[in-house]
């Protein structure tokens, strides 16, 4: 299969790189052409236009920031209009299930396969090819392309009809948002009672509630520096989508409220763990 990739953000570049390393032919396109440099140096082909990318490839991956960007790409920029029957589109963006279903329906009407396949994991797992791929759409289409997920993730899971991958991504990110806020609240509570940050983080990480995310975020908390691995603005967006998609309970609503306030307080471009700053400002 010849592959096309549209959208080269923090995740798109390492995922595309792993497809190249696995021996696939990959053609890339990004509105900011300079973002293709690393991949072209590694053997990717740079398409001059979306039309060129679509005409030359069998499977097209897309990975952009949000629902508006996805709809703009597929409809305003005529990605589906340019597509050919028999092609498969795989959208790895984190968007609402409603948007995934809309794209699926529009693609099906043209005889084009469509899979929503957002991933769980951030930049480091993306580089290591250890993401978790959450797929929704027709099972026959998933089976046709599932081998492509092997260089990308440690596992891909077929979850059911269109929108299922997007629903699962919102659910896992709801848990992530709650977990990160929980770590922050625990550490701040301990700090207010005179427990050193380093000691409390050691207690968390060595106890039954220690997790990969608590260990990963420990250096950032200790240094009070939050360069974005997964930007807080994306978590705020995902929790908003979860609230719009279904009913949140007490803890979910609390997390949604906290991240929206952090976003309003200009913390969006920092890492999700910068929720510490928001909570500290309230204490």
Annotated active-site positions, please? 169
Q: How many CA atoms lie within 13 A of 172 on its CB side?
A: 16
d(CA 48, CA 80): 18
Phi and psi based region of residue 123 (left: phi greater than 0; alpha: psi -120 to 50; beta: remaining):
alpha
Q: What one-character-per-residue DSSP string does 192-206 give?
A: HTT--HHHHHHHHHH
Helices (H), the chain: 12-21, 37-41, 50-55, 67-71, 79-82, 97-109, 123-128, 139-145, 164-192, 197-206, 212-223, 232-245, 250-264, 275-282
């Amino acid at each position: 299969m010849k592959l096309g990739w549209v959208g080269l953000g923090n995740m798109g570049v390492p995922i595309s790189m792993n497809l190249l390393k696995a021996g696939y032919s990959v053609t890339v396109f990004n509105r900011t052409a300079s973002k293709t440099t690393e991949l072209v140096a590694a053997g990717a082909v740079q398409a001059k236009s979306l039309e060129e990318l679509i005409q030359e490839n069998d499977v097209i991956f897309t990975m952009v920031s949000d629902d508006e960007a996805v709809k703009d790409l597929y409809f305003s920029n005529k990605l589906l209009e340019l597509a050919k029957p028999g092609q498969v589109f795989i959208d790895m963006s984190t968007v609402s299930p409603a948007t995934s279903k809309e794209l699926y329906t529009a693609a099906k009407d043209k005889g084009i396969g469509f899979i929503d396949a957002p991933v769980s994991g951030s930049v480091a797992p993306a580089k290591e090819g250890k993401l978790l791929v959450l797929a929704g759409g027709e099972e026959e289409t998933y089976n046709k392309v599932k081998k492509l997920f092997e260089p990308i993730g440690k596992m891909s899971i077929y979850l059911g009809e269109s929108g299922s991958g997007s629903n699962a991504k919102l659910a896992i990110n709801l848990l992530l948002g709650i977990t990160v806020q929980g770590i922050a609240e625990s550490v701040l509570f301990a700090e207010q009672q005179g427990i050193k940050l380093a000691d409390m983080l050691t207690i968390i990480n060595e106890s039954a509630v220690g997790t990969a995310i608590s260990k990963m975020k420990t250096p950032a908390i200790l240094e009070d520096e939050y360069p974005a691995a997964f930007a807080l603005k994306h978590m705020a967006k995902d929790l908003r989508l979860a609230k719009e998609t279904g009913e949140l309970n007490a803890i979910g609503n609390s997390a949604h409220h906290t991240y929206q306030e952090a976003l309003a307080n200009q913390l969006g471009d920092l890492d999700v763990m910068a929720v510490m700053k928001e909570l500290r400002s309230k204490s």
